[in-house]
Amino acid sequence: MSCDLCGKKGSTRKTRIEGVTYDACESCSSLGVDASPMVVKKKTFSGMRDTQEQVVENYSTLLRTYRENKSFTPKQLAMRLGVKESILLRWESGSQVPTLQEAKKIESSLRIPLVVKQENAPPGEYTTVESTSSQGFTIGDLLRKK
Ligand SMILES: [Zn+2]
């Protein structure tokens, strides 16, 4: 393919200039608007945010307060949750953190909020772009290689 505008041989792209579509080279295409049907403007951001679930920090207080409010003995509450009394006591004292699965189970059976969702920024925001100039490489070098 050669450029309709300057005749330069190489890769061209459909470019619309004043209502006429040309096959234009890289430099001429900047004179018009991209008319290529292939180009679909897509945001790099996927729209999927990574949410991470965590057991709340005050799980022990929540559990103990709940039990005391309901006047349950540790054994009664442990049975209700289907866990050993010793485990419940460890949760209440804060010496053991319930797993996410356990916390969810407690949450649904006792209706106390034990799991929080933490939103992580999309990974793209933290990726660093390596500077090509640090390697003695410029965009101009890349273009000349074509
Ligand atoms: Zn051209």
pLDDT in tens, 44-101: 555 566 678 999 999 999 999 999 999 999 999 999 999 999 999 999 999 999 999 9
How many Cα atoms occupy the beta-carbon half-sphere of 41 within 13 Å?
2
Say how far apart CA 21 and CA 29 lie, in whole Å.
10
Say whether pLDDT at 21 is over 60: yes
Report the separation in Å between the CA atom of 28 and the middle of ligand 1, taken as the mean of its atom positions. 4
How many angstroms is it from 38 CA to the middle of ligand 1?
A: 20
Task: Say how many Å lie between the CA of residue 41 and the centre of ligand 1.
Answer: 24
**Band of the pLDDT at 119, cuts 50, 70, 90?**
confident
What domains can be seen in the chain, in order of their start residue?
A: 1-39 (no CATH), 50-120 (1.10.260.40)
At position 128, the amino acid (one-letter code) is T
pLDDT of 133: 43
**Which pair of structure tokens corresponds to residue 97?**
């953190």
* More confidently predicted of 125 and 119: 119
E strand or H helix at 115, and its extent? strand 115-120
3-state percent breakdown (helix, strand, coil) of the chain, nearest 5: 40, 20, 40
Q: How far is the CA of 14 from the centre of ligand 1 (A)?
A: 11
